[in-house]
Amino acid sequence: QVHVVESGGGTVQAGGSLRLSCTASGYIFSNKCMGWFRQAPGKEREGVARIYTGNGITYYDDSVKGRFTISLDNTKNTVYLQMNSLKPEDTAVYYCAVGSACATNPGPYKYWGQGTQVTVSS
C-alpha cells in the first residue's frame, strides 16, 4: 500500500514563506518522479515543481521559477517545497504525487496525497 502524506500548509501574508513536506511510503523511492501540483477553487490542477529521485534533476513551472525550490531527502523518502515571496495567486490546495516520469500534467502520476491548504493574504 502506497501512502503519500503532505504537511506544512497554512496562512501567510504576501511576501512570506512556507515549506511543504511530502513523505512517501510503501514503495521503492528511487527512480521515481515526485511532483507538487496545486488547485485553486474553480481552476484545474496545475503543475508547480517536480524532482526525479534517481538523479535529483528538478523542473519548475514558469509561475514559480525563482521563488519556489523543490528538494529531496532520500534517507527519509521525503520531498520538500520551499516557497518564498508568496503571492495571493499562489493560494491553492497543494498536492504531492508520485509518478514514473516527470510529466508536467497530473495524468501520469499514480499516487497522490490528500493535499494541504496554502493561503496567501494580501
CB 84 within 8 A of CB 68: yes
Confidence (pLDDT) at 26: 83
Note the residue count of the chain.
122
Confidence (pLDDT) at 70: 98
Pick the more confident residue, 66 or 108. Answer: 66
Assign 73 to helix, strand or coil: strand
CB 94 within 8 A of CB 45: no
Q: What is the mean pLDDT of residues 69-93?
A: 96
Q: What is the mean pLDDT of residues 77-102?
A: 96
User: Which set of grid coordinates corresponds to residue 25?
Assistant: 511510503
Confidence (pLDDT) at 50: 97
Confidence (pLDDT) at 72: 93
Give the separation between CA 84 and CA 74, rounded to whole angstroms.
23
The pLDDT mean for the chain works out to 94
pLDDT tens string 44-68: 999 999 999 989 999 999 999 999 9
